[in-house]
Amino acid sequence: MNLKYTYQLREPVQALLQEASRINSYKPQKYWYPLSMATYDIEEILAAVDSLCSFRTTMWEKTDEFERQFGAFAGSPEAIMVNSGSSADLLIAFALINPQTKFLNQGDEILVPSVTWPTQLWSPMMAGLKVRFVDTDPNTLNMDLDDLEAKIGPKTRAVSLVHLMGNPCDMDRVINICQKHNLILIEDCCEALGAKFKGKAVGTFGLTGSFSFFFSHHITTMEGGMIICQDQPLSDLFRLLRAHGWARNAKYAKPESVEGLDPRYMFLNWGFNVRPTELQAGFGLEQLRRLPAFNAQRLQNAVYFQKYLNRYSNIMRLMEVLPDAECSWFALPIMLSPECPFKKEDFLAYLEEQGVETRPIVAGNLARQPVCRLYPELQEGDLPGADAIHERGFYLGLHPFEAKKNLDRLAEVFEKFIGKTL
């Protein structure tokens, strides 16, 4: 049996994989340079097994502890774990229009990025807000802040920002714009765990921050996500929205007793059920310990590959990071220049054939997705920056393991193609 891992998993995990492959006839991976690699080891597996063996699988102490430690890492007093980054975005949107907060009314306009993961848009739409696309800067891959200012109209009440690919936005300017126009700011940090602007963690500039722990992200809990906020009553609203609106989930609110009502089944608000399991939280606790080393290694690998790409800066380059920003590199996003002598499609087909997995930069220009035909508010006019990313951008994986050998091999693969076309 042939397991192809560049990162050497520890022996107990190897043994488990061997056993699993015996049962499941494990197939070796198609790519030697995949989009993402397993970042968990025996400790995460044991943490999950511990929850199973103690029959405490639903949200419990490990979730509390993971939330506490995550909040400390992310610079936030309140952290609420959910079952995905999309669920974090969903609860944030529903908190904005909740009668308890009245931050926004249904029908209010919220400005959203044109290049991001689409659930960042679906969430406010599902909550009855009107989204409007803002163009994207093809250099930083973040919101074009000139276009953001230009799009602010009489109905605009909020901005939903994303720090794409771990690259922090210019938060001085964003805050300035939001203050000037009295706009609520929410930050999607699902690709940016550990990123900072002028030393301040992303997700702590706005009212809320959302994070994702999907398999390929900075840390994984298999599936999972987190909301951070500064405010106790708001954090309690998230706890209610996370689990049925159920009073027992509030941490700070002490509901008055209601005559004739059993307090064990008391509901203070409406809500979903997007709770995480203890298995996910146990994973998260172990992953959080590894995170500083992971992020340092990702940065080192990105810088290493950047040095190689610099020699071709007239035809392709990585995204631009602002001088005040500490990027928490999520992947290797590459933009071909308009002068590039070859077609993106040809290059990607070649990379795939060579065993290098590729993807578009998130979903490209979202306004070009078929879903937009269903919703008139998603039919936006010109988005030239997002179009440039759609047409000339793609990304490769970036792994949190020592990878010089792999990056040299990747450079050789690039070299072969580029050498032929120049």
Nearest approach, Cβ of 261 to ligand PLP (angstroms)?
A: 36
Q: How many residues bind ligand PLP (CB under 6 A)?
A: 15
- For ligand PLP, give the closer residue by CB, 137 or 188: 188
Active site residue 217: yes
Q: Which two tokens stand for residue 277?
A: 């399991």
Q: Does 284 bind ligand PLP (CB under 6 A)?
A: no
- What 8-state DSSP symbol labels residue 184? E
Q: Shortest gap between Cβ of 201 and ligand PLP (angstroms)?
A: 16
Residue 214 vs 347, nearer CB to ligand PLP: 214
Q: How far is the CB of 318 from ligand PLP (least distance, A)?
A: 18
- The contact mask relative to ligand PLP for 101-120 (x = CB under 6 A, - = no) is ---------------xx-xx
With H, G, I as helix, E, B as strand and everything else as coil, classify residue 276.
coil
For 228-267, give the DSSP string. EES-HHHHHHHHHHHBTTBGGG-SS--PPP-TT--GGG-B
List the catalytic residue out of 217, 218, 390, 399: 217
Indicate if the alpha-carbon torsion angle 322, 323, 329, 335 is positive or negative.
Answer: positive
Contact mark string toward ligand PLP, 52..91, x via CB under 6 A: --------------------------------xxx--x--
CB of 74 to ligand PLP, least distance (A): 16
Among 44, 188, 236, 286, binds ligand PLP (CB under 6 A): 188
Return d(Cα 78, Cα 182) in angstroms, integer.
24
Long-range CB pairs of 26-33, under 8 A, 24+ apart, other chains included: 26/1, 28/2, 28/3, 28/4, 29/4, 30/355, 30/357, 31/355, 31/356, 31/357, 32/4, 32/6, 32/355, 32/356, 32/406, 32/409, 33/355, 33/356, 33/357, 33/396, 33/397, 33/406, 33/409, 33/410
C-beta of 82 vs 413, nearer to ligand PLP = 82
Question: Residue 324 corresponds to which tokens in the numbers above?
Answer: 């005040």
Residues 6+ apart with CB under 8 A from 251: 232, 235, 236, 239
Binding characters for ligand PLP, 196-235, by CB under 6 A (x = yes)? ----------------x-x----------x----------
Footprint on this chain of ligand PLP (rule: CB under 6 A): 84-86, 89, 116-117, 119-120, 162, 188, 190-191, 212, 214, 225
Positions marked catalytic: 217
